[in-house]
Amino acid sequence: MKISVIGTGYVGLVTGVSLAMIGNQVVCIGRNISKINQINKGNPPFSEPELENLLKKVTREGRLVASNQFEKEVGKSEITIIAVGTPTVDEKIDLSQIKNVSTQIGRVLNRKKNYHVVVVKSTVVPGTTEGLVAATIEKISGLKRGEFGLCMNPEFLREGCAVEDAMKPDRIVIGQLDKKSGKVVANIYKKFKCPKIFVNIKTAELIKYSANALFATMISYSNEIARIAEKVGGIDVVDVWRGVHLDNRLSPRVGSLPKKNGRYFPQFLSYIFSGCGYGGSCFPKDTKAITNFARENKIETPVLNGVVKINTSQPLRLVHLLKKTVGEIKGKKITVLGLTFKPDTDDLRESPAIPVIEELIKNKAKVSVHDPLAYLKGPRKELENLKIHYHQKIEKAVFGAEAVIIVTAWSEYKKLTPSFFIKLMKDPVIIDGRRIFSVDKFLKKGIKFQAIGYKNPLI
């Protein structure tokens, strides 16, 4: 099918590539001409494993092009997927990009003769697709819903494995205005053999928030338990989670599933684990958007309010642990290892590293940072106001530091040994925000070690 995808960000581009890979003809529509040229040469504007290979393939074979010719390209396509940003501004979802795109689509449909299906893939609060999107298109195009198709098809990809998620979806949720629209959307995914769930549009919108909020809840819950462990003393929260994870309801003893020591450990368990909080382009904004949506609709959400509250303060606990360990940090070199919100992505949006660095700077520390990907391709706007020293090599970042804070669980950091730090630091202090190190190994070597969910007897 001929598909136009609006937006060339993570979701737009990865969706476009995956749909082209399974035989559709895709045009990705963006606004930034240099980004469009880059995509047409097969170079993704952001880092994502496997994306470059597939993008090169589909652009070379002419199955995907990028363009800024909105009206022309939408007009030529049979189906338009909206994948623009829905940021949270002042705790509330900002739907201005969705409104603009709906207006632009309305103009095209005003002149178009053939049936056209509009699909919202962006994450939007319940009621947006049938409200704002459909109403705007109706007003501008003069058509009534039904004369054009309408679906909400939430995206579940995870940055860092977005291509794999898009090429092997667990399920495809199709919120349909009517059967005719749903059938068109199901058709573009026909090569994917996963379950396809047909629901109404508002249900599809809420499925997306419920999924993200569930994972965010598990993370904040784990961090709340970590706070108890830290305060009580003598408890390591990693042991707590080991004991919890081995419940047969969480890690079943089943035959044919992938297993370790006779148990199947679902990925879900990685969210029931303590750290310095969730970040990225989705969990923070989506939990805030849905709680605000509930508040505006006079629905109480004490659980989700707590999830957001814990997550906001969690990164600062690393600086708290640091100060408890070294005292005054003014003028001291403190090294932050990891800037991205999780490994295998260069995404800095809402990364816990940002509030950690801001707090260190507020306390007049000299901040050095290392990240394998974050600034590899040049300076980043998320960091432009932060006075920090960037390093390409971990050794240089750590050399002479008074303390090292682990914010991102990059695999290269997991390999660092106590002797690595002893060699480069005078009196090593490690604050492990992701629980990547074995406490015993570090303590045995005389390193001052603190971590989320761990009560160091030295303190």
Binding site for ligand NAD (CB under 6 A): 6-12, 29-31, 83-86, 97, 100-101, 122-123, 155, 157, 159, 281-282
CB of 242 to ligand NAD, least distance (A): 29
- From 284, 279, 306, select the one nearest 224 (Cα to Cα): 306
Instruction: Considering the complex, state which of residue 345 and residue 456 has its C-beta at the smaller distance from ligand NAD.
Output: 345
CB of 208 to ligand NAD, least distance (A): 7
Instruction: Considering the complex, state which of residue 284 and residue 453 has its C-beta at the smaller distance from ligand NAD.
Output: 284
State how far the Cα of 35 lies from the Cα of 215, in Å rounded to an integer.
32
Report long-range pairs for 33-41 (Cβ below 8 Å, ≥24 apart). 33/68, 35/8, 35/66, 36/8, 36/66, 36/67, 36/68, 39/8, 39/13, 39/66, 40/65, 40/66
CB of 60 to ligand NAD, least distance (A): 23
- From 211, 363, 350, select the one nearest 277 (Cα to Cα): 350
Instruction: Considering the complex, state which of residue 160 and residue 418 has its C-beta at the smaller distance from ligand NAD.
Output: 160
Q: Which residue is nearest to ligand NAD (CB)?
A: 9
CB of 401 to ligand NAD, least distance (A): 32
Instruction: Considering the complex, state which of residue 122 and residue 129 has its C-beta at the smaller distance from ligand NAD.
Output: 122
CB of 3 to ligand NAD, least distance (A): 15
CB of 399 to ligand NAD, least distance (A): 35
- From 326, 90, 86, select the one nearest 212 (Cα to Cα): 86
The three-state (H, E, C) secondary structure of the chain, written as one string = CEEEEECCCHHHHHHHHHHHHCCCEEEEECCCHHHHHHHHCCCCCCCCCCHHHHHHHHHHCCCEEEECCHHHHHHHCCEEEECCCCCEECCEECCHHHHHHHHHHHHHHHHCCCCCEEEECCCCCCCCHHHHHHHHHHHHHCCCECCEEEEECCCCCCCCCHHHHHHCCCCEEEEECCHHHHHHHHHHCCCCCCCEEEECHHHHHHHHHHHHHHHHHHHHHHHHHHHHHHHHCCCEHHHHHHHHHCCCCCCCCCCCCCCECCECCCHHHHHCCCCCCCCCCCHHHHHHHHHHHHHHCCCCCHHHHHHHHHHHHCCHHHHHHHHHHHCCCCCCEEEEECCCCCCCCCCCCCCCHHHHHHHHHHCCCEEEEECCCCCCCCCCHHHCCCCCEEECCHHHHHCCCCEEEECCCCHHHHCCCHHHHHHHCCCCEEEECCCCCCHHHHHHCCCEEEECCECCCCC
Instruction: Considering the complex, state which of residue 334 and residue 354 has its C-beta at the smaller distance from ligand NAD.
Output: 354
Instruction: Considering the complex, state which of residue 7 and residue 433 has its C-beta at the smaller distance from ligand NAD.
Output: 7
The set of catalytic residues is: 282
CB of 13 to ligand NAD, least distance (A): 8
Instruction: Considering the complex, state which of residue 85 and residue 252 has its C-beta at the smaller distance from ligand NAD.
Output: 85
Instruction: Considering the complex, state which of residue 251 and residue 291 has its C-beta at the smaller distance from ligand NAD.
Output: 291
